Amino acid sequence: MANNTNIEISPLAPKKFPNINPVPGLRLCGQAVGLKSSGDKDLMIAELVKGTKIAGVMTNSRCPSAPVDWCRTILPKGTARAIIVNSGNANAFTGASGNQVVTSTVSRASKLFNCSPNEIYIASTGVIGEPLLEDEIAEKLSKVVTRLSPTSWKSASEAIMTTDTFAKAASTKTNIGNSEVIISGFAKGSGMIAPDMSTMLGFIFTNARLPAQVLQKLLRRAAESSFNSITVDGDTSTSDTLFLCATGKNTRQKRIHKSNDPDLKEFYNSLESVCINLAKQIVSDGEGAQKFITLNVFGAESKRAARAIGLSVANSPLVKTAVAGEDPNWGRIIMAVGKAGEKADRDRLSISIGGIPITDKGQRASDYNEAVVASYMKNRDIEISLDVGVGRSKATVWTCDLTHKYISINADYRS
């Protein structure tokens, strides 16, 4: 996907790029190296100190990109020295030539960073099916390496953008035991957003000292309640990739061996918060989005079922277009709950929009006032809550409305 410098920034975008805490043991940068015809930034490198541990979650698409295949192969080794990301070309469905691009890039990078090829991670995002020249990325690496810096978060975030209208990043400080640690990260995504055990592209870094197997368990949990709980259009990318890297530079921190260590509770909550922050920014940049929608599901049989019901509503074009049109057509929500394939009690199902009760005991609430709900629908942030009446489990998912602009963006995508 080739982004356009002149594209209109989403009305849901944050007012400015956030302040990001540098992570000891990490240098990064994004540069324009000519992979995009627009001249925008298109190559990002994150250099990690020797011994950095890594965890990853990637797309479940049956048509994964060449970089995803490579990263899956090396991820069990659990260490990383660099992450290299190009935008403008997904290097997906490119056959043997796509694998050669990865091999060439990894080989060149391993020499630049004096490490094993198995410590070089690759991600690509952009147009699917367009071949790259074998050395097209590899020969550009040295240009970016000279600009690496602990503070170049904005350029790194911009270099992975495609149809995104703003760069997305988040940061926090937290504790493991009595030791302060940093968690900072950035992500991209705007369309083709409905991940499955993955995200679009996301890179999170910490100076914590944690083993790879602990990072992996924490990341999978955090991804479920964040990146796996958002949708823009119901389409899962061939390139979805999320990495969590721990540089281990906080040498005063106690050693952690298990993901259920009580001293990890605050760290995990902060990691989840950063992931949710980034995931919500992706929804806020949904292609053509004008409204941000929060869907709360209660009373489900399990957390998995609650999430599935929420995503069924969030992925419904009829629900999303009703929100775009500021039409409180709550019958479409009933439809989406019914088609979710999860247990729900029709006669106990309750719906509220903006805290205003809509249904009661299987029918419209006796005091329902559509004019009040219609007035609420004019807001930019819309909250819909459902109780399906069969259990105690709950989940929250996030999405955006579906507008004519989504069609325009994707109809003209390769133009």
- Residues marked as catalytic: 199
Closest among 40, 41, 72 to 56, alpha carbons compared: 72
Please give the structure tokens belonging to residue 27.
Answer: 């240098």
CA distance 213 to 369: 53
Please give the structure tokens belonging to residue 298.
Answer: 């209660």
Closest among 275, 274, 260, 258 to 211, alpha carbons compared: 258
- The residues pairing with 88 across neighbouring beta strands, listed in sequence order, are 126
Which residues have C-beta within 8 Å of that of residue 43, sequence separation ≥ 6?
30, 31, 32, 33, 35, 84, 85, 86, 87, 137, 140, 141, 144, 159
Name the DSSP letter for residue 149: B
CA distance 314 to 270: 26
CA torsion, points 333, 334, 340, 345, in degrees to nearest 10?
140
Please measure the distance between the N-terminal and C-terminal CA atoms of the chain and give it in whole angstroms: 11
